[in-house]
Chains A and B, each alone.
Chain A
Amino acid sequence: MKTKTPALPYVLWMIIFTVIPLALVAFYAITDPQGHFTIDYISQVGEYTPVLVRSIWLAAVSSVISLLIAYPLAFWISRRAWNHQRTMVMLVMLPMWMNFLLRTYAWMTILEKNGLINRFLGLFGIGPLELIYTPGAVVLGMIYNYLPAMILPLYSIMTKIPNSIIEAAQDLGCNTWDVLWKVLVPLTVPGISTGVIMVFVPSVSTFIISRMLGGGGNLLIGDLIELQFLGNAYNPNLGAAISLVLMVLILLCMSVTNQFGDEEKGEMLK
C-alpha cells in the first residue's frame, strides 16, 4: 500500500512522455491525413526495404566492432588500481561532453577529400582516397559516438569480478582463452547485452551521422523518417509508419540479443 503513492509521479511521467507519444505514432501510422483508417502507409514501408536492411546491417557491424574494441579495454581498466580506474573512466566519457554535431563534424574535416588524412597521404604521393561518404565512414561515426555506451556497462560489471576468480580459473587449468570463455564471458553477459543495445539502438535510427559522413548514397532509415517529418517530402503518416516498423524491428533485435544472453547462461548452468 505504501509503495503506491510515491510511484504516481513516475506513472504520470510515463503516460505523458512515453505512452501517449507511442499511441500517437501508432495512430498516425494507420490513418490517412483525413483521419481514416488505412494500412497503405504501413505497406508502403516495404518499398524502403534496402534502406532498412542497410540501417540494421551498419548498426550491427558497428555494435560488433564496438564490442571487440570495448571488451578488452573495459577489462584492462577494471584491473587497474582504483584511482587509475576513475581517471580512465573519465577519459572514456570525455568525448560525450562535447556536442554530438561538433564531434561528427570533426570527423568530416579529417576524412574529407582535402582533409587531414588525405593531405598527410598526399605528402607521400598517395591518394586522395575516397574516405568520406562511404559506409565505412558511417560505421566509424557510429563507433566513435557510441563506444563509451559500450565500455561503461562492460566496465561496471567487470570491476565487480575479483582477481581471485580469474586466478582460480588459471589455477584450475585455464589458459587465457579458457578464462575468457569459461569465466569472463559468462559473468559479463548482462554487460554485453546492455552494451550492444546501447550502441545498436541509436545507430540504427541515426540520421546525423549518415547525413554528415555518409553523403547521399548511404541513406539510413533515420534519414527517411526525418525527411517525412522535417524535410520536403512532408508526409507524417508515412514517417510514423516507418517509425513503427523500426520500433518493432528494434524490439525484435533486442529480444534476440536477450535470448542469446539467456542461452549462453543456460548452457553454463546446464
Chain B
Amino acid sequence: MKDNNIVSLRNISVDFDGDPILVGLNLDIRDKEFVTLLGPSGCGKTTTLRTIGGFILPKSGDVFFDGARINNLPSYKRNVNTVFQRYALFPHLNVFENIEFGLKVKKLPEHERKNRVGEMLDLVGLRGYDRRNIDQLSGGQQQRVAIARALVNHPRVLLLDEPLGALDLKLRKEMQIELKRIQQALEITFIYVTHDQEEALTMSDTVVVMKDGDILQVGTPQDIYNEPKCAFVADFIGESNILDGVMHEDCLVEFAGKKIPCVDKGFGHLERVDVVIRPEDIKMVDASQAPITGVVESVLFKGVHYEMVVDAHGYKWIIHSTKCQEPGTFIGMAVDPFDIHIMHKEVEG
C-alpha cells in the first residue's frame, strides 16, 4: 500500500448525549499538506479536529497517526498541537512564557528553550513583545502567540480551529497569507477548520467538505469548485444556480422547460437530477436565439462584475457578467454544455 498519510480516520463515530454527531467517518490526510475541513456551522468540524487532537474518544472507529493506532493515546502524548478557537492563552504567563510552556513541560534545557522561543517570535513577527502580558495584546497578536506556542513544540501536525474567526477582514487576509507561508516554510501538516469557503479555497492543498457529520467531497480547491459532486457542495462553494432537471439520455438534460445538450453521462433514463450552473458561466445573448429567456429584475455592481437576477418562469437566475443590462430588459441566456453540471439528487433522510 503506497501512501504517505500522516493522519487517518477509519469509521469514526462520535455521540453527544446519545445524539450521533459523526457516523462512520473516513478521512486520510497526507503528510505536509494544508488540509481544510469546510462546512456550515454545526456540521462536526470541531468534533473531527478534537478527535484527532485526542480530546474526544470516538465511540467506535480508529485513529491512525503515521501508521500507528493512537485511539487510547492521551492528547498530551500525541505529536500534534492545537491552535484553539479562542486562543486559550495562559493569562498568568507573559508572551515568552506562554510560548515556552510546552518546552518547559518537556524539561528542555533553558538555552534551548530560549533559542526556540526566539525563533518562533521571529516566525510570527512578535520579536520585542516577549515580556508583554497577554491582555496587552491585540486579537491578531494573541493569535500569533497561540500559533507560536503550538509550533514551538515542532509538531508533525498542527490543528487550527477557525483561528481567524474573531479577526476583522483585512487582518484575516493578512493572516491567511502568513499561515500559508508558515506552513510551507516549516513543511508540516496543517489541518484547518473553517466555515468560510473563500478562506478554504485560497489556502488549501486539499479541501474536505462536510455536512451533518458526513464528508461530501475531498479534493483540490479547483476540483471542488469546478467539479462539485452534489448540489450542496456546489452551492456552498461559491454561488450557484441549482435547477430541477430530468435526464433523458446521456448528454441530454431537460430543465427550465427545454431539452439542452450537456456532457454528463451514466444517469438513469428519466432520472430526476440537480442541474448546477455557475453564475459566471451564463452568457447573455439575443433573446430570439436563446434556449432560455427571462426578465432582468435587479442589478448590483460588485466591483469586478455585475450581479444580475433574472426571472425566468419563476426561477430566479443569478448571472455574473462584466456587461450590464437594465432592469426590465428581456434577455436570452446561453450556457456552454461543459458548464452544465448534472448531479444525482441527494436522498433526503
Which A residues are within 8 Å of any B CB, using their own CB? 162, 164-165, 167-175, 178, 182-183, 186-187, 265, 268-269
Contacts and interface: CB of A to CB of B under 8 A. Distances in A.
Given A162-B88, A165-B88, A178-B105, A171 B94 contact: no
Nearest to B77: A173
Given A174-B76, A178-B105, A186 B81 contact: no
Contact of A164 (B85, B97, B101): B85
15 contacts: A164-B84, A167-B55, A168-B149, A170-B54, A171-B53, A172-B76, A172-B149, A172-B153, A173-B76, A173-B102, A173-B105, A183-B90, A187-B91, A268-B93, A269-B97
Contacts of B86: 162, 164
Nearest to A179: B76
Contacts of B82: 167-168, 171
A41 B340 CA distance: 103
Contacts of A182: 101, 104-105
B111 interface: no
B20 interface: no
For chain A, what secondary structure do more than half of its interface residues adopt (helix, strand, loop), or is it mixed? helix
Contact of B102 (A162, A172, A175, A183): A172
The 8 closest A-B pairs by CB, nearest first: A172-B102, A164-B88, A168-B88, A173-B105, A171-B82, A164-B84, A170-B75, A186-B92
Interface in B85-128: 85-86, 88-94, 97, 101-102, 104-106
Contacts of B90: 165, 168-169, 183
A168 B81 CA distance: 9
Contacts of B76: 170-175, 178
Contacts of A268: 92-93, 97
B17 to A, nearest CB: 11
A269 B105 contact: no
Nearest to B102: A172
A173 B107 CA distance: 11
B337 interface: no
A161 to B, nearest CB: 9
Nearest to B53: A171
B77 to A, nearest CB: 8
Contacts of B268: none
A174 B106 CA distance: 9
B74 interface: yes
Contacts of B84: 164, 167-168
B80 to A, nearest CB: 8
Given A269-B93, A269-B94, A173 B153 contact: yes
Contacts of B150: 171-172
A165 B101 CA distance: 12
A162 B86 CA distance: 10
A186 B98 CA distance: 14
Nearest to A183: B90
Contacts of A169: 90, 101
Given A162-B86, A162-B88, A172-B101, 13 more contacts: A164-B88, A167-B84, A167-B88, A168-B82, A168-B90, A168-B149, A169-B101, A170-B76, A171-B76, A171-B82, A172-B105, A172-B150, A265-B92
B162 to A, nearest CB: 13
B163 to A, nearest CB: 13
A149 to B, nearest CB: 25
Nearest to B94: A269
Contacts of B53: 171
B93 A171 contact: no
Nearest to A166: B88
A178 B104 CA distance: 11
Nearest to B81: A171
A105 B55 CA distance: 48
> Which of A167, A168, A170 has most B Cβ within 10 Å?
A168
Given A164-B86, A187-B91, A170 B105 contact: no
B93 A172 contact: no
B237 to A, nearest CB: 30
A183 B104 CA distance: 13
Nearest to A185: B92
B75 A167 contact: yes
A157 to B, nearest CB: 12
> Which of B53, B76, B91, B149 has most A Cβ within 10 Å?
B76
Contacts of A269: 92-94, 97
B341 to A, nearest CB: 41
B11 to A, nearest CB: 25
Nearest to A189: B92
Contacts of A178: 76, 105
